[in-house]
Amino acid sequence: MVSRIAPIFPVRDVPDALAFYRGLGFEVREWRGGGYGFVTFDGVEIHLGAEPDLASRPDRRSAAYLFVEDSDALARTWSAAGAHVRPPEDTEWGQHEGVLIDLDGNVIRFGSPMTTG
């Protein structure tokens, strides 16, 4: 039985990536051996793996989706922290979705149910 899953984002520099995610409100920790890190947000975990040649490998980006209660509030929080955030928009599949792009081009799509009104 599977109990959880964690996407692995490739990053050029783990300490820089950890600092970025810390600034967004994630809890962060680096593996004691270096080259690998962990970021958590409300129980969701993403791993960060060092790939120093990432700039030459545009095909090596990853993505994750966060289901959240209020995508507008999260977008405002992350934007205020200086992150590259595309504001949430209503989708045909009933989600109000936004996009965060990290320092290395990895994508976190986040969405909450659309409200009627």
pTM of the model: 0.89
pLDDT at 117: 54
**111's tokens:** 């969405």
Interior angle at CA 73, CA 7 and CA 93, nearest 5:
65
pLDDT number for residue 40: 95
The tokens describing 5, both together, are 């899953």
**Tell me, what amino acid is at 11?**
V
- pLDDT of 75: 98
Strands 63-67 and 44-50 come out as unpaired
For the four alpha carbons of 59, 65, 66 and 69, in that order, the dihedral sign comes to positive
pLDDT (0 to 100) of residue 52:
80
What integer is the mean pLDDT of 12-39? 94
Average pLDDT, the chain: 92
Residue 64 CA to residue 7 CA, distance in Å, equals: 7
Distance between first and last Cα of the chain: 41
* Average pLDDT of span 13-40: 94
Per residue in 45-95, pLDDT (tens digit) is 999 999 888 777 777 789 999 999 999 999 999 999 999 999 999 999 999
- Residue 36: what pLDDT? 96
pLDDT at 94: 93
List, in order of start, the domains of the chain with CATH numbers: 8-53+61-113 (3.10.180.10)
- 33 exposure class (CB count in 10 Å sphere: 0-12, 13-18, 19+): exposed
What confidence score (pLDDT) does residue 3 get?
Answer: 84
Question: For position 74, what pLDDT does the model report?
Answer: 97
d(CA 44, CA 41) in angstroms, rounded, equals 5
